[in-house]
């Protein structure tokens, strides 16, 4: 039987972080309940007989939901879908909104992976980007989560003001000491319409420049590889067998259903995007597009070259990438590595991936 992954979006946050461009917001109790009802209806309405191999509850801040609220959502899911017993089931959490009771509840609901939004372990840095936790709360959250879950991931942001590669390695070391198996390292992006963008314009905030950011990232990456982590995707590092199965499904273009405001689904080369505002979402409004053959090839190249799995040339249909004007140069310079029918981007050039990939597209 065909398999599928499921993503559920919980858009609520206690407060908006200064850099955040996600569809997340502070909601009152009434908005929250209205949304949760619409979400449960959508889960039921889009029922499929495909078997679910991974579930990911992300946000926003899913850990903002109390035990009963999360239990109701998971119950609707299990009542309506066939789910593998060993399905990977991840929930995202912020350090300031988890507690022992919630962790126990997640465990009882078959959650088996927790992703913690740590971002930094420097109190001044955390405050400067509007995070609600400090180092002490973050460490406590990691230790508490590890008490209940083997598979814990932590996020870090690279490029924050005054944060050196050495700082990032010391944060990673705190994670590793506590048995964290997966670390996601995201480059800071300053999006227009964020408070951080305004702060940068007024010179109140100075992110690292590109060269400093790349240097910090490389230092962190070397450190993690040295500690036995594999860089299995451009921003993601895992100990053996702890790669995120859910994210690997995205990167290998597996089908998935996304529930909630702004959530995306991908089924049989069709992309569906739910409405981005509460009102339209509740009415079930979405947009849909079918990918053209050119778009499919572009996606295969873009996703594959960002991952250790690379791009199998036989998947590129009519596009002969070996005839691309840049291809042979990239191979001879060692930027691209070709093994049999698969090409990989040399991790030493990951920081140039955007340019390299766009040069290789049809």
Using rule CB under 6 A, residue 114 touches ligand SF4: no
Nearest residue (CB) to ligand SF4, 43 versus 116: 116
Phi, psi of 131 (to 5 degrees): -75, 150
Using rule CB under 6 A, residue 97 touches ligand SF4: no
Minimum distance, C-beta of residue 60 to ligand SF4, in the bound complex (Å): 5
Using rule CB under 6 A, residue 91 touches ligand SF4: no
Using rule CB under 6 A, residue 22 touches ligand SF4: yes
Using rule CB under 6 A, residue 96 touches ligand SF4: no
Nearest residue (CB) to ligand SF4, 92 versus 233: 92
Label each residue of the chain as H, E or C. Answer: CCEEEEEEEECECCCCCCCCCCCCECCCHHHHHHHHHHHHHHHHHCCCCCEEEEEEEEECCHHHCCHHHHHHHHHHHHHHCEEEEEEEEEEEECHHHCCHHHHHHHHHCCCCEEEEEEECCCHHHHHHCCCCCCHHHHHHHHHHHHHHCCEEEEEEEECCCCCCHHHHHHHHHHHHHCCCCEEEEEECCCCCCCHHHHHHHCCCCCCCCHHHHHHHHHHHHHHHHHCCCEEEECCEEECCCCCCHHHHHHHCCCCEEEECCCCEEEECCEEEEECCCHHHHHCCCEEEEECCHHHHHHHHHHHHHCECCCEEHHHHCCCCHHHCCCHHHHHHCCCEEEECCEEEECHHHHHHHHHHHHHHCC
Nearest residue (CB) to ligand SF4, 13 versus 142: 13
Using rule CB under 6 A, residue 115 touches ligand SF4: no
Interface with ligand SF4 (CB under 6 A), residue from 4, 57, 60, 167: 60
Interface with ligand SF4 (CB under 6 A), residue from 4, 7, 9, 24: 24
Nearest residue (CB) to ligand SF4, 94 versus 249: 94
Stretch touching ligand SF4 by CB under 6 A, among 27-35, 55-63, 157-165, 252-260: 55-63
Interface with ligand SF4 (CB under 6 A), residue from 9, 35, 54, 61: 61
Reading the block at residue 350, the tokens are 């990951």
Interface with ligand SF4 (CB under 6 A), residue from 4, 6, 8, 17: 17
Minimum distance, C-beta of residue 263 to ligand SF4, in the bound complex (Å): 14
Using rule CB under 6 A, residue 117 touches ligand SF4: yes
Minimum distance, C-beta of residue 20 to ligand SF4, in the bound complex (Å): 3
Stretch touching ligand SF4 by CB under 6 A, among 13-21, 83-91, 212-220, 269-277: 13-21
Q: How far apart are CA 130 and CA 204, in angstroms?
A: 14
Nearest residue (CB) to ligand SF4, 9 versus 53: 9
Using rule CB under 6 A, residue 260 touches ligand SF4: no
Minimum distance, C-beta of residue 288 to ligand SF4, in the bound complex (Å): 26
Give the binding site for ligand SF4 (CB under 6 A).
13, 16-17, 20, 22, 24, 59-61, 94, 117
């Amino acid at each position: 039987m065909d398999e599928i992954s499921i993503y559920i979006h919980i858009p609520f946050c206690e407060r908006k972080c200064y850099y955040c461009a996600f569809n997340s917001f502070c909601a009152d109790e009434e908005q929250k309940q209205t949304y949760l009802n619409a979400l449960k209806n959508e889960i039921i309405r889009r029922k499929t007989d495909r078997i679910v191999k991974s579930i990911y509850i992300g946000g926003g801040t899913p850990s903002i939901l109390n035990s009963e609220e999360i239990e109701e959502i998971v119950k609707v899911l299990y009542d309506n879908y066939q789910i593998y017993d060993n399905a990977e089931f991840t929930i995202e959490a912020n350090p300031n909104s988890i507690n022992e009771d919630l962790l126990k509840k997640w465990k009882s609901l078959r959650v088996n992976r927790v992703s913690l939004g740590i971002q930094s372990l420097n109190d001044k840095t955390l405050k400067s980007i509007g995070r609600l936790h400090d180092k002490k709360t973050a460490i406590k959250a990691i230790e508490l989560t590890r008490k209940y879950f083997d598979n814990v991931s932590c996020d870090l942001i690279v490029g924050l003001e005054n944060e050196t590669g050495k700082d990032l390695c010391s944060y990673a070391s705190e994670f590793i000491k506590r048995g964290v198996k997966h670390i996601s390292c995201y480059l800071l992006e300053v999006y227009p319409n964020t408070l951080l963008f305004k702060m940068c314009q007024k010179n109140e905030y100075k992110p690292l420049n590109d060269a400093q950011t790349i240097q910090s990232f490389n230092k962190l990456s070397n450190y993690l590889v040295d500690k036995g982590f594999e860089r299995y995707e451009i921003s993601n590092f895992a100990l053996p067998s702890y790669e995120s199965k859910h994210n690997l499904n995205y990167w290998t273009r597996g089908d998935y259903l996304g529930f909630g405001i702004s959530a995306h689904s991908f089924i049989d080369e069709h992309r569906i995007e739910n409405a981005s505002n509460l009102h339209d979402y509740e009415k079930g409004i979405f947009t849909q597009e079918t990918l053209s053959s050119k778009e499919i090839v572009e996606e295969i190249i873009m996703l594959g070259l960002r991952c250790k799995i690379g791009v199998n040339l036989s998947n590129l249909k009519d596009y002969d990438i070996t005839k691309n004007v840049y291809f042979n140069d990239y191979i001879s310079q060692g930027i691209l590595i070709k093994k049999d029918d698969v090409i990989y981007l040399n991790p030493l050039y990951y920081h140039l991936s955007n340019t390299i990939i766009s040069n290789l597209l049809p």
